[in-house]
Copies of this chain bind each other. A is one copy, B any other.
Amino acid sequence: MTEPIHDLAHIAHAELLTPFPQDSLRFFTDLFGMEIEHREGQSVFLRGWGEYQPYGLKLTEAPLPGIGHIAIRAWSPEALKRRVAAIEGAGLGEGWSDGDHGHGPAYSFRDPDGHRFELFYEQDRYVPPEALRPRLKNVPQRHVDRGASVKRIDHANILAADVAANRRFATEQLGYRLYEQVVLDSGVESGAWMSLSIAAHELIYTADHAGKSAPPARLHHLAWFVDTREEILRAADLFVDADVPIEAAPAKHAVAQGMFLYVYEPGGNRVEVTTGTHFIFDPAHETVRWSQAERARGQAWGNKTIETFHTSGTPDVSGAPPGPPIPPTSRIPAL
């Protein structure tokens, strides 16, 4: 038995690409309720009200939607060095950069599917402007509550032609723990839910339905956390009125037991509002392995899994024009 790895702490931020940056920005500020923390080049840095770090989302203009990179913070400088060595040993490293707005030197690498990641340790702590100063000193920012009012980035679900290969890399080189997985009757692993903490999932790989013919490194969705299930129900109400395309109305996942709401942001990326997953306290947790038949039963309350959930990712491979793959529900403009 090898000792568990405790070198990486959490996803500090993710970079989302959008071909419609103005619309996407309005979505994340007005409807997700995030604050603009910084602008630089083609990017806007956005934060949920509960993030200690300056931002959890880097929104960047690009020809196609998808995931730019995922940035993971290490537990310590030494821990960072250990993980960099492991990644280099796997032949997937791409080298150091000086860092970006809000954090220090970062080591860049790609997972086997080609998604770009960064590791760093030095991270600025958010200092709110006066108007966003909270009343209680253990809260990073005043809770303004606009739209869904997301608290912090929660997890990333990325697509891979070979889930097992990427899952092995994440667990062996990065130290992720594999809490749940789906293994099809064919023996192919089609989903892996992994975490660096007691949170039920922080990094998820699911099978890219387009397989090896798809462009590599596609995104399934990014998810943001809210504190209560009521906030998710409320978000659905607000999204309906604001013409946000809802892909999956609020319900409960079987895997990890989380409450979900899936929508498309104007750039065409699927984003989730989530809460309520269970915690994994067992240091010797046995991976929960779901069979094809078990997955076919649907979500926790029997809701069938939405079909597009299996077929849609960004960038798109269907040849559809850019933007959300399902039509908006109405013609009402966001306020």
Chain A positions near chain B (C-beta within 8 angstroms): 1, 3-4, 6, 9-10, 50, 52-53, 73-79, 123, 125, 130-131, 133-139, 142-147, 152, 180, 197-199, 227-231, 233-234, 236-238, 240-243, 246, 249-252, 254-257, 259, 276, 278-279, 281-286, 288, 290, 294, 297, 299-303, 329-330, 332-333, 335
Contact = CB atoms under 8 A, between A and B. Distances in A.
Given A4-B75, A76-B3, A236-B301, A145 B142 contact: no
A287 to B, nearest CB: 10
Nearest to A144: B335
A301 to B, nearest CB: 4
B198 A300 contact: no
A142 B332 contact: yes
B246 A233 contact: no
Contact of A329 (B135, B152, B285): B135
30 contacts: A1-B76, A3-B76, A3-B79, A4-B6, A9-B281, A10-B198, A10-B283, A52-B282, A52-B285, A73-B283, A131-B333, A134-B332, A137-B294, A138-B278, A138-B288, A142-B241, A144-B335, A199-B279, A228-B228, A228-B229, A229-B233, A230-B230, A236-B300, A236-B301, A237-B301, A240-B301, A249-B301, A249-B302, A250-B251, A251-B251
Contacts of A279: 199
Contacts of A10: 198, 281, 283
B284 A123 contact: yes
A135 B294 contact: no
Contacts of A276: 227-228
A229 B242 CA distance: 22
Contacts of A302: 240, 246, 249, 329
A238 B231 CA distance: 14
A282 B125 contact: yes
Sorted nearest first, the 4 A-B pairs with minimum C-beta distance are A6-B6, A249-B301, A230-B230, A9-B283
A286 B140 CA distance: 12
Contacts of A255: 138
A229 to B, nearest CB: 6
Contact of A283 (B74, B147, B233): B74
Contacts of A297: 329
Query: Which of A136, A252, A294 has the most C-beta atoms of chain B within 10 angstroms of its own C-beta?
Result: A136
Contact of A237 (B125, B133, B300, B330): B300
A198 B135 CA distance: 23
